[in-house]
Structure 1
């Protein structure tokens, strides 16, 4: 039982199930109950599956699977291109519904967010509130979701992953030994492939292994991130649900006033390259990524314009930032002398909350990245960790847990 004290919290994590496919089915009733995949380059066999309905998953279709392979498992698979305007609209409607219950709602991506229902949860059953939200989303928007209920954000996030689709799972601190600790360490939120490998080196294979490990040993091998993960494995997470954390106005930026007015695009390229590198370092220090890159141009007459481009995937690398910023400059510079240039990343999100939505139109490039990652791993094993590492981390499907009641 969650104690009803001034310090106890009741946190919900709302996680929409197969969101893109669910939105398409909600808008087109003929798709409901059928195996559906959202993929890039639908007409080309090299397209990849970004998400799929649970009917498709039951036939063996998986995220990042090439379309041609998905159709081998499920010949009747319906494949559609993405429509992000639809998904953003559905996301806004979903969050509008959540805000009807409390102002303490923190969106962390297009299809998931936290709610702090401590105040209303002390007056009504938290399970009943979760059921009502789930039923309303399903009835009013035809969108399924899973909900985790816990005393903090980390445990609520883990709980929502334990039963999909349409699950409601409670994870109390006293239940950690039976519900959380038996899970493989790679199923812990915040643990990617590289972190998993580091844990394996110190014989941590389950979340329970981490909870029982000496904190100093974990911190020695994994630094501050290891210390944070050790605390969370023991159910410790004091982070507030912050409605402003995901505000699209939150940004990280950098700018420079030029010693001489800029007159040629070649000059701009050099300045933008330096700014992109500086912005990458700032994003790394804050451990965040941005969905939108914004360019500021101030002319010699002090007239200032800002232009931006929103990406499908959040970015932090200087190469990605520079590509967008340079294109924005080419598209919007009026060829007048420039006094100041600035680049900012907006719609910022913590790295651990960012989900890689594979570039729908760059499947070959991602496959190259995967092969490069494997090759570098082999080199590191043989010659040591001196090379630059590049890779893709993805979360596995969670299949553990059950629905409970708060007594």
Structure 2
């Protein structure tokens, strides 16, 4: 690593959920383990699996019945998100001891800028020490990619798992990165890879040498961006504040069975709306748009959205508009999954609420009620008017939130 250039780490926890369960219960070590969204519903979908299970062909998003066919002795556990969030927070605290320039991107991965950490040793020594500490103190394995930018660091961390450390320099791109199939490039999804193959782009190297004007014409600005990344160009900083930026807030859930029952669909819409409200409250946010996702029994998926004249923030408002979208766009076929999200999101402190006369009067009428609820909430520690949810489904439904990714700072 050149001393004058940036030194970026991408720290990627290995088989995170399964590894956390093994750290919690050592008797699971060395056994094929799958963490499954909900084994009782649709026989479950694999969220992640141990490397022992992966060797048998078990993969993320695979139906549980298929995973069990491939690996008859598979152990199956429901996810424990409180446990994973705690482990994630402890992991990021260890990263923070190296540098404050950390950008969490999910519960089990993040970037670090260690350019100015030479007092701790070489970049390779820092990575080795960090990996050893995470393994020794948390009993969790991770892989670390070391590179002069975020894209190359991300690609490097995927090259050796578990417990790998990979250095990817710009001078190594032609020999290490370019021969890889285009679908292995971070940022290239299945559909994009398929379209690129029709243009004769089979490898990352062929993308790197493709005419940028043609790529931009076909893929928009993302085409030029991907070509730059393929050439090792990525000037994005490691941004500790990026975790606070958000464009949309949403929640989705698969139904226990395909249904056309209005009451069942409304019940789920209500639950999803409450989940969205919780997340908006946590972010102290309001939104001006709402989107509904419908996945049918044949997995065909549609999304429909609407822009609003005013900001919304309550579950009732979210539910009302989501219900309107469902009634307008549902074709009557059995539904497998519903998702509700709000967009054009802004922080309350940055946006003065735009109220027309009618809205103002309605808000004013409820102000006394809001104050009474706030007073009682302060006294008793929770909203006494909110019904307690006996089900744990909300925990699963909101498991992939990023709201908690700065908890390690607290």
TM-score normalized by the length of structure 2: 0.64
Deviations 1:117-159 (A, max 9, x none): 0001476211111111111111111111000000000000000
- Aligned-partner Cα distance in 1 for 2:172–2:318: 60
Where in structure 2 are the equivalents of 1:5-404 lying within 5 Å? 5=4, 8-43=5-40, 46-121=43-118, 124-247=121-244, 253-255=286-288, 269-270=320-321, 279-280=342-343, 282=344, 299-301=363-365, 303=367, 347=402
The CA deviation at 1:239 is: 0.4
Any idea what SS the aligned residue of 1:89 has?
A: helix
Contact 1:251/1:348 (<8 A) preserved:
no
Distance in 2 between residues matched to 1:145 and 1:137, nearest whole Å: 8
CA RMSD of aligned residues (A): 3.4
Residues 218, 226 of structure 1: 8 Å contact kept: yes
Whole-angstrom distance in 2 between the partners of 1:67 and 1:270:
35
Higher relative contact order (CA 8 A, sep 6+): 1
CA deviation profile, 1:326-366 (whole Å, cap 9, x unmatched): xxxx968xxxxxxxxxxxxx9479xxxxxxxxxxxxxxxxx
Structure 1 unaligned blocks of 5 or more: 260-264, 287-296, 308-329, 333-345, 350-407
Residue 119 to residue 67, structure 1, CA distance change in 2 (3 Å) = same
1:134–1:123 distance in 2 versus 1, CA, 3 Å: closer
Give, in whole Å, the separation in 2 of the partners of 1:253 and 1:228: 31
Alpha-carbon distance between aligned partners in 1 of 2:233 and 2:145, rounded to the nearest angstrom: 16
**Closer, same or farther: CA 301–63 of 1 in aligned 2, 3 Å:** same
SS at match of 1:300: helix
- Aligned counterparts of 2:65 and 2:194: Cα–Cα separation in 1: 32
How many angstroms apart in 2 are the aligned matches of 1:224 and 1:87? 36
Partners of 1:250 and 1:279 in 2: how far apart? 13
Cα offset for 1:3? 2.2
TM-score norm. by structure 1 comes to: 0.65
